[in-house]
Amino acid sequence: MLTGWGPSGPDGGTPGRRVAVTGLGVVSNAGIGPERFWEGLCRPPEADERERRVSGFDASAWFGPKELRRVDRSTQFAVAAAEMALADAGEVDPDPARAGVVMGTGVGGLSTLEAQIEILHDQGPRRVSPFLIPMMMANRGAAAISMRLGWRGPCETTVTACAAGTHGIANAARLVATGRCQAVIGGGAEAAITPIGMAGFTNMTALSSSGISRPFDRDRDGFVLGEGAGALVLEDWDRAVSRGARIYAELAGAASTADAHDIVAPSPGGAGAAACMELALADAGLPAVAVSHINAHGTSTPLNDAAEAEAITKVFGTPGPPVTSIKGVTGHSLGAAGAVEAVAAVLTIVRRQIPPTAGLVNLDPEIHLDVVSGSPREWVPGPLVSNSFGFGGHNGSLVLLPPDQ
């Protein structure tokens, strides 16, 4: 990963410190914690699961009764994923002034805002909670994590719609690569399955009318709304090696671009997405031919999947490396999606398997990709790309390498 780019991109950039992935945390409808999450990715979702809510999540494992009443569900997810990841990483013990948190979200504390608006209408302004603002603000998750850990380095929140989780991880990694931080928790969280959230997405015809997520399928008709959080512990590689850490992967490259085209529709031909993948590969110093797997954004909307498929074809050729979208299982968790999918990508390296694209029955004949479906595919770990593309034209890509490459 480069710490600075030349005027036209990575050419002439300055190589930075290597970035190790040493801890994983995830809260998802597919499972809470990496083990259960992976198991959930490898089996189909419930047929009637029209909303991909996280079940079995007990926030009291991370919050006391008083504190729990003052944190939105999205913050609960963020803290749980981050603390899971830190516990998984072992004795990180960074200098607190050189330890940071960068989390992404799309809408922040939507459920709190919605509930308090109802109270305002029904009971008047004096009954609105004094904790409304700190509960609903988008940066609450990152702030809560840093305060609990006492990490006093950069504490930031990336709000780039459905690319926010990927951007959060990319920005966190850059802090390590530059030497500013010894360790950073990067990720994303979202809890937007609320009446107003569902109504808004339904009325803009973004959601599947059938309630089935079918990434890259001929009959796809929209996404299924999900929720959750994902977090990675990112460390200076040499420091991680010296403390004997288990290193899952190397985050070798990342990039961000904008379509500058439309607030919801991707740019024609996936031009922005293609540019983003190319820049991420250049950041990692890899040719496209070296990539052996792509964890796609793959939302199951007609326009997104077509544009992403065209972008992948432009960069990697036909059929290109094997592709999967885990949104057939997880649904689309908006600002958390890229972080949850980054956890899945790292686990793909660890498990030496590519999880299938649930919901895919008939590949769209206009999509000329090798999309993994049916059952997990055995895979020799190699460089992989994880993509996220969001409303507003935000594009993000990560390049991950097995630790022995």
CA 306/CA 278 separation, integer angstroms: 18
Closest CA to 387 of 185, 188, 163: 163
Catalytic site residue from 155, 276, 293, 297: 297
Element (H, E) at 2: strand 2-6
SS3 helix, strand, coil % of the chain, rounded to 5?
A: 40, 25, 40
CA 17/CA 21 separation, integer angstroms: 13
Element (H, E) at 377: strand 377-378
Count CB neighbours of 210 within 10 A. Answer: 13
Closest CA to 189 of 149, 140, 223, 222: 140
Catalytic site residue from 155, 162, 181, 276: 162
Residue 106 neighbours by CB under 8 Å, 6+ apart: 159, 161, 162, 164, 190, 192, 334, 335, 336, 390
CA 113/CA 72 separation, integer angstroms: 9
Is 162 one of the catalytic residues?
A: yes
Q: With contact defined as beta carbons under 8 Å apart, do 256 and 390 qualify?
A: no
Q: With contact defined as beta carbons under 8 Å apart, do 398 and 344 qualify?
A: no
Catalytic site residue from 167, 293, 332, 394: 332
Element (H, E) at 305: helix 302-316
Is 297 one of the catalytic residues?
A: yes
Catalytic residues: 162, 297, 332
